[in-house]
Each structure stands twice: as structure tokens, then as C-alpha cells.
Amino acid sequence: SARDSATPPTRFGKYLLDRRIAVGGSSQVYLARPAVGSAPAPRLVIKRLLPAVRSDPQSVGTFALEARLHRAARHPNVVEVYEAGSVDGEPYLAMEYVDGIDASRLMRRAQADAAPIPYEVAVYLAREICAALGCVHCAVDDTGRPLAVVHRDVTPSNVYLSEAGDVKLGDFGIARMLSRTSISTDTTALKGKFSYLSPEQVAGEDFDHRADLFSLAVMLSELLINQALFPGAGQLAVLLAIRDCRIHNLRDHAASFPAELRQVLERALERDPSRRYGTAHEFARALEPFENRPRSALRQQLGALVAHARSSLLLGRSDRPGSSAPKLPSRSPISVLSVEDPTQLISVRDRDGRTLGPMPFARVVELIATSRLQPEDEVDLAGDGRYVAVALVPDLERHVPSSTATTNRLQGPGIPDHVADLSRTNMLHVLALLVLRRETGVLFAEREADRFIRKEIYVAQARVVHVDSSEPSELFGEFLVRTGLISRADLDRALAALPRFGGRLGDTLINLNIVDAVQIYRAIRDQGRERIRDLFRWKTGRVSFYRDVAPNRLEFPLDLDLGPLMFAGAEELLSDAEAVAAQSLDRDDLLVGVPELPEALRMTAWPPEVLKVVGAAGEGRPEREVVATLTAARLINVPAAQRAIEVACAAGLLHRMRRPAYP
């Protein structure tokens, strides 16, 4: 800022801090110079922890880890750390200063000019980052042991460019070593950068260095098409596009660069990491043919583009053409029949003419979501006695359970394709049937306990895409509070603001900065899993499956494989104590593997535990021996082995042959 630049230099140990140039979530960065002489560089960067986190052991440890990783990854394309020290107990890093801009500024300038970066220059830039990642991923400690580093933040704002054409990867603040025993899944540091996450990072799955290569492929794609690769109406929409690897934007602009280059990027952007390039060197080699000019010329052209973007910044030009200041994103226009005043109490009139309320908007949403209000019931939004049907208010209609549109057909002339009584079978066998038939449709689960409860599980090709529940305790807000992601006060604040964000609780929490988009994304999936897992606890009830029925709306398809859901549910059917007790019995039943698995079973992502018991059984071994072999080799514990056997037998991966009892 102008105020920072006018401030006299501040002495910090053996350095002079000229001005602050950036502030992050836990640190601040200063442009600095040596107080005496010019070593280690005439100009450099000092990175310091913010005062608020200096007493936090985790933040201090992360800072020290960043220094360690920088020291282990010395390369011309990696920002150099000259030293790590402390001044009066305050840790700092003295780092290389790249006199230029970051790649995000270059990309914004290109978008403002409507002039994409020439594809040869974009490829040159990407290959320089590949060189950096090749060093990072192969870094070793002082004893030569591989550190297995994943940068985790390969984004344009962490790629520094100079007017000389230098390309340097920096900021190891959230990098991790896969060899560490404790791996944090916190995404706070990625807030605002989630559009460069890999699908496996978004989903909270295990990931390795190939996630960095995916992020680089996203960045290169955006350099080529001069816009976001994964656009969306909101943050959750972007995360869904990443999860499903929807790269339409890349294909739509295929005419502006060689078709073979698009094919390279499509491989680098595969959903399955095993189908991507295995190393940064391999990715760089695939890109090499598209650097069809001397590297010195490409470096010079990149430097000229950096100088142009930088001069625009220094002159105060906006990144938006025809605009003197950046504009805040606007919210979608509100429907005429929206709840415009979040504090307005709403009266409800049901189909029998009874009036309820007035009540807050959030309470009306709860009644609709749990099927206690129907689309034909009416609401008075303004308190003026004018009632309209719930179905005519988009902010309310969106909460109507998915089955409502098809209820008449299903419960009237509709005949279920499959029915099961949960007092005689369990959900393990019900879900196994959906897997074996690769079903698409809806499974209704209903029971009468203290009150009537109904759940709806929608599947597409035996993958769960949506789960509804009439149980109030299973509302999304209650789930977030129960799992500790938000507090009750947070939920109350979000519910009060719900109408401002179209009645979407997830979007409301994100916009109020209570949680970030990745946390909401994962919570929605976790809630779907929990709703299904709860069904394994049902000892009574009825399930009915209707083929080829889809939800009437699907804003967030879950895309959950039934195999892991069956294994998780088996924990409800067989406790640890019951599993150990079963193993202590004389379990001589023969477990026999299926000679040739049906395609439906091969397409299912079975948990490792299930695959282990199937492999151990082979062509036929006693159950007791299968469990003993796996547990002796410490490949699995007894409870997990017993549950895996139950899942494998229910799904038809194994056949259990009862041994006859001889006198």
C-alpha cells in the first residue's frame, strides 16, 4: 500500500524491512535488504509469522517444515530460502525476491486484454514448473531418504515470474510429506484456491504427488483458453465440476491450440490418478513437442508479457476492461415470490385449512424437508393474508423431498420392482442386490417407530446420487452441529440469513465465512453416508425399490459407490465384540471365491479389506483359516476381517459352504 511504501525501513535483526508486500492466513511478507553489505542478496523477502499465531505450536511447526522443504528442494525453478532464523524468538525465513509478478496477475491481464497467452509460451511456463515439481517430489532428507513431498498449492498465485522470463515455484506453507504419520486434511489454507484442487483432494481421499500434476494441468489449461477451466454458479458447483472432471471449456477451445496438446492435457486431467502422467518429468516430456521455438525466444516473450502486465499494475489499470475498479460478484436475481426479509415471520395454511405460525423461514424449511408440509400447502410471505402454494416459491420449493413428484405413481398404480422386510433381512443384502443388477432408480425405506420415518436412496448404475430423509435430526444443519463443523450459534446465524442465499444452507454458511466450500462439499457426502449407515440399524421396516425413477431435482449428486457403504454399514451389523466372539467359535465353513466375477461386481470399488479376504480365500479355505492368515500377517484385524467376509458373501464375491456336522 502507499502507506506501507512511505514508512521508513524497520530494522529486523540483520535486515531492513522496506515495506510489507503480502499478508496471508498465518504469515506476512516484507520486501527487505541487508542492513550491511549485499549478502545473501541486495533485495530479498522476509517471511514472518503473524503475531496472533506465534504462540501456536502447529503454526510454528508448519513454518519450520516449510524451511526444511525449501532447503531440500533447491532448484533454479524453486524460490530459494537463504536462511531460516529468529529475531527475539520470532521465527523468519529470508527468501529469494522475484522481481516481477505472479502468474495469476499475468492471467488476469491476458483475460482483460482478451489476448490469450501464446500456447508455446504457456507450455514453456508449464514445463518450467514441471522442472520445479520434479525436484520437489524427489527431495530427500540429510540421510538420503525420500521425503515424498506434495506441494498441495500449485496455483497461479504461487508461481512467480520475472521480466527476464524466470519461472519459480514458491510457498511451501501447506506442503506435506507423505511419510509423516499425521496428515492434516484441513483445507483452510486452500480457501480461494479450490479451483486448482485435484478430484481426490476435493473428495478427501488419499492423494500423492500426482495431485500437484493435476493442479498444474488446470493452470496450463487456463493459460490456453484464457478463462477458468471449472466455472460454476457457486463454489460448490465448481467443486462438483472438479470431482467429475468436466473439462468442456478445454474442448470448446480446442481450435486455438494443437489437438495433440489437448490430448496431453486430457490425460493429465484424468479423474483416476493412475491414468495421469506418473511424474513431473513424464508430463514435461509429453509437453516438449509443443515448444516449437527456441527456449531462449520463449523465455524472452514470457518476460515481455510479464513486463506488460506489470506496467498495467503500476499504472493502476484494472484487470477488467472498461472498468476503473473491480466489481463484486452479484447474486442471482431474486424471484418475485422470494422471502426478501429474513426476519419476516411466515404463516402457513395446510391443505385442511389449518393455519400454523407465524414462524421463522428456517422452521418452514424444516417442515418442508421432513415432508410435514407439501407443495400444495400455502404460505403467507408478507403477513398480509395473501397465501401462495409452497410450489410457487422457489426458495421453499427447492426443499421439497425428491420423491414428492412421483409419490402418486409409486404408491398408487406403481408396483415396486423389489420389496424386502427388514425384520427378515438387512440392508447389506438389499444393497448387494442393487450392486449385482447395476440398478438405477429409487429405494424407499419406511418404518413406524415413535413416528413414521421415510428415507429415499436414489441410485444411478448402482452409485448413490441422492439421499432424502424425513427424520428432523438428519437435517443438514443438525448434522453439521453434531459433527462439530459448526456450533449451534453458527447454525442459528445461518438459518436467520437463509433467505438471502436462496434458502441454501451450504451456500449461506460459505458466504458468511463460517465454513469453506470444501468442508461443505465433504460434509454433504458424509451426511449421505450417515443416512444410509443408519438404515443398517433398522431391525424393522420395509424397503421398496422402483426402477428408473430419478429425483425431481439434483443439485448435488453424491456419486457414492455402494461397496464402501456396505462395508461401513456392516459395522452396525457386527460390533467388534461380536466379531471377536465369532472368530473364537469353530468357524469351519468353507469360503470359496467366484471363478469369474460378473461385470457388475468388477465395476464396484470394493474396500481393501473385502479384496483381502477374497484373495485369501482363493479357491476354497475355511473361514477361520482365512481370518487367521490375514491377522497373523497384520494385514487386517479380526473385526474388519469378519465384516469383510459378510460383505463379500452378501455380494457374491465369496460363497460360504456349510460344513456338515458329523457325529
Question: Where does 56-170 have alpha helices with state H?
Answer: 57-72, 103-113, 119-137
Span 169-177, mean pLDDT?
75
At 406, is the pLDDT very low, low, confident or very high (cuts 50, 70, 90)?
very low
Cα–Cα distance between 176 and 151 in angstroms, integer? 7
| pLDDT tier, 187 (very low <50, low <70, confident <90, very high otherwise) | very low
Q: What is the pLDDT of residue 320?
A: 42
**pLDDT at position 188 over 80:** no
Q: Diameter of the chain by CA atoms?
A: 98
Q: In angstroms, rounded to a whole number, what is the distance separating the alpha carbons of residues 224 and 238? A: 19
Among residues 125, 189, 135, which one has the least CA distance to residue 159? Answer: 125
Looking at residue 314, what is its pLDDT?
56
As a whole number, mean pLDDT of residues 607-621 equals 91
Q: Judging by DSSP bridges, how do beta strands 167-169 and 176-177 pair with one another?
A: unpaired
Rounded average pLDDT over 529-535: 94
What is the rounded average pLDDT for all residues in the chain? Answer: 84
Top mean pLDDT of 59-68, 114-123, 571-580, 594-603 is at 114-123
Strand order in the sheet with 378-380: 355-359, 346-349, 378-380, 388-389
Is 90 exceeded by the pLDDT of residue 219?
Answer: yes
Task: Report which of residues 574 and 370 the model is more confident about.
Answer: 574
Closest Cα partner for 349 from 323, 321, 379, 375?
379
Cα–Cα distance between 291 and 178 in angstroms, integer?
A: 33
Q: Is 618 exposed, middle or buried (0-12, 13-18, 19+ CB in 10 A)?
A: exposed
- List the beta strands (DSSP E) in 431-473: 441-448, 452-460, 463-469
Q: Are 127 and 288 in contact (CB under 8 A)?
A: yes
pLDDT-derived band at 413 (thresholds 50, 70, 90) equals: very low
- Between 188 and 275, where is the model more confident? 275
What does the pLDDT read at residue 579? 80
**The predicted structure's pLDDT at residue 313:** 60
- Pick the range with the lowest mean pLDDT from 110-114, 317-321, 549-553: 317-321
> What ranges in 332-449 are assigned the alpha helix state H?
361-369, 394-397, 407-411, 427-436
Across the beta sheet with 441-448, the strand order is 418-421, 542-547, 441-448, 452-460, 463-469, 560-561
Higher-pLDDT residue of 455 and 5 is 455
DSSP state letter for 25: S
Three-state DSSP at 642 gives helix
Q: How far apart are CA 154 and CA 159, in angstroms?
A: 8
Confidence band of 554 (pLDDT split at 50, 70, 90): confident
- Measured distance CA(380)–CA(283) in Å, rounded: 60
Residue 486 neighbours by CB under 8 Å, 6+ apart = 477, 480, 494, 509, 514, 515
**Position 339 confidence tier, pLDDT thresholds 50, 70, 90:** low
pLDDT tens digits for range 625-650: 899 899 999 999 999 999 999 999 99
With cut-offs at 50, 70 and 90, classify the pLDDT of residue 461. Answer: very high
Cβ atoms of 641 and 591 within 8 Å: the answer is no
Average pLDDT value for residue range 203-231: 93
Average pLDDT over residues 90-98: 90
**Got the DSSP string for 565-626?**
HHHHHHHHHS-HHHHHHHHHS---PEEEE-SS--HHHHTS---HHHHHHHHHHTT-EEHHHH
